[in-house]
Amino acid sequence: YLNISKLALAFAIIHSKPPGKSSKEYTEYLAKTVSEQDFGWKWKVEVLEAEVLRLRQELLLNRISPRFCLENRKQDTSAETLLSRESINPTSYSSQLEDSGCDVCNDSAFDSLGIASDFHQSEHNVNISKHWLERVPPLNFCHTSKEQSLTAPVQFLQCLLEIRKLSEGGILQADFSELENDSFTICNSVSQLLDGLTVFYNSPKFPAPSFLTEGVCVLISLITDTKLSNHVLKKCFKKMEEFKKNLIQIILRNKSVNRFQALHSVSQTLSLLGRNNILRNSLISLLLSEVRQFAEQLLQAHQVQSVYDITQYENIFLLCMILEQLLENETQESNISSSDYGGEEKIKFLKNLDQIILHLSDEFPLFSLYLWRVSVLLNSGQMQ
């Protein structure tokens, strides 16, 4: 029946094709027309889904703190103009962005993207409680562009963070148990934020747009907040794990010439995620796995004298730096048991590591040194 239908469609196209066009050209024209119609319907569905999520977000905020939403709606529309202007005009960045960005030995590349400094500034801004109510516009999440679709979850999560601060200061009454009753809204909002950040990290722009910086700041503030982080991680842990894996792969697979500055900002985001104890443990396991697999592949290539991916070799050092930093933080916190992190990946990493270092030390001394430093941190944590 399917073959007969295809044959009938082919005959119909041949008989109805206009003069001067071949059957192939007419078929391509019809296919393009149909695909455009499908795209139109998909776009309408996305707009409606965004509107549904916006309404659910407003409803959730209203349930958590009705007074916040009421005061939020009374604001002057100039606040919305101000916020849109801030999202369009990025802050001034250093002239370092114009060079190759190869210097990643300090935090200047990361600061030049505006993320590190803006993160500390965001922590300061969150504490200014009453000012927030004067500048946040009414929620508006029905956007079409990539940039605006990222600002939508950011704005909602910013509202949650500020309600949290206002309630802590006794200015507002808030019931965050409502987050337990509406897991769909919080999960979708966080998922949108993580997907948006992944898209922009895959195709970084310089200077970094302010909405990207704001997105990172909100994410870090969310997972470091003592009350909200439990709700978020409990419902979005798998999505957060996927996000961390994506960031690691972005670091490993990037082959562009001027990649180091962008990759350094990604590595700093991973380090900031590692501030959360739950995320840190799983992130250490992921990094141990990637570094171990690369070390084994490099050893195999060295033994048979075959070629290896020099770009991935250069990128792996960023993962080693992150891993070393996380392990140092872990061993400094006496309230965290050493058995809580690494687990099976820790055992796999330390197995045969001495032999790997011995064989690679002559040809790859710097990488071998990093492997040794990581092993020392793992063993020191085990002895404590």
Q: What is the DSSP track for 122-144?
A: HHHHHT-HHHHHHHPPPP-----
pLDDT value at residue 127: 43
* Lookup result for tokens 């210097």: 103
Peptide bond into 207 cis (omega under 30): yes
Q: Does residue 165 form part of some domain?
A: yes
Q: What is the DSSP track for 46-64?
A: HHHHHHHHHHHHHHHHHHH
SS3 for 256-293 is CCCCHHHHHHHHHHHHHHCCCHHHHHHHHHHHHHHHHH
pLDDT value at residue 146: 61
Element (H or E) spanning 101, and its range?
none
Q: What is the DSSP track for 330-371?
A: HHH-TTS-GGGSSTHHHHHHHTTHHHHHHHHTTT-HHHHHHH
Whether residue 290 sits in one domain with residue 321: yes
* pLDDT single digits (tens) 265-305: 899 899 999 988 888 889 999 999 999 999 999 999 998 98
pLDDT mean across residues, the chain: 77
The percent of residues above 70 in pLDDT, for the chain, comes to 74
Last residue of a domain, one of 275, 304, 322: 275
Across 135-161, average pLDDT: 67
Last residue of a domain, one of 275, 303, 321: 275
Q: What is the pTM of this model?
A: 0.70
Q: Does residue 173 form part of some domain?
A: yes
Spatial CA neighbour of 284 closest among 355, 381, 187, 212: 381
* pLDDT single digits (tens) 106-135: 444 344 444 444 445 544 444 433 343 333
Whether residue 327 sits in one domain with residue 223: no
CA distances from 317 to 73, 143, 238, 361 (A): 49, 39, 26, 15
* pLDDT single digits (tens) 315-332: 999 999 999 999 988 777
Tokens of 190: 């966080």
Whether residue 293 sits in one domain with residue 250: no
The percent of residues above 90 in pLDDT, for the chain, comes to 25
Domain count, the chain: 2
Across 152-179, average pLDDT: 87
Q: Which of 14-23, 154-163, 215-224, 357-366 has the lowest mean pLDDT?
A: 14-23
Residue 366 has pLDDT above 90, yes or no: yes
Task: Give the integer Cα–Cα distance in Å for 234 and 207.
Answer: 34
State the pLDDT confidence band at 333, using cuts at 50, 70 and 90: low
Q: Does residue 159 form part of some domain?
A: yes
* pLDDT single digits (tens) 203-230: 877 777 788 888 888 999 988 888 888 8
Whether residue 225 sits in one domain with residue 196: yes
pLDDT value at residue 110: 41
CA distances from 346 to 176, 375, 382 (A): 37, 9, 10
Whether residue 263 sits in one domain with residue 360: no
Q: What burial letters (b/e) apply to 53-89, b meaning 16+ CB within 10 Å?
A: bbebbbebbebbbeebbeebeeeeeebeeebeeebee
Whether residue 254 sits in one domain with residue 231: yes
Whether residue 256 sits in one domain with residue 219: yes
Whether residue 258 sits in one domain with residue 191: yes
Whether residue 223 sits in one domain with residue 267: yes
State the pLDDT confidence band at 381, using cuts at 50, 70 and 90: low
Instruction: Decide if 221 contacts 260 (C-beta within 8 A).
Output: no
Last residue of a domain, one of 231, 254, 275: 275
Q: Does residue 82 form part of some domain?
A: no
Q: Does residue 91 form part of some domain?
A: no
Task: Give the integer Cα–Cα distance in Å for 182 and 178.
Answer: 7
Residue 81 has pLDDT above 50, yes or no: no
Residue 299: which domain range? 278-331+340-383
Whether residue 265 sits in one domain with residue 320: no
Inter-residue long-range contacts of 66-70, CB under 8 Å, 24+ positions, other chains counted: 67/172, 67/173, 68/133, 68/159, 68/162, 68/163, 68/166, 68/172, 68/174
* Lookup result for tokens 């469609």: 9
* pLDDT single digits (tens) 232-244: 888 888 999 999 9
Q: Does residue 180 form part of some domain?
A: yes
Q: Does residue 222 form part of some domain?
A: yes
Q: Does residue 66 form part of some domain?
A: no
Whether residue 282 sits in one domain with residue 271: no
pLDDT value at residue 148: 65
Whether residue 259 sits in one domain with residue 157: yes
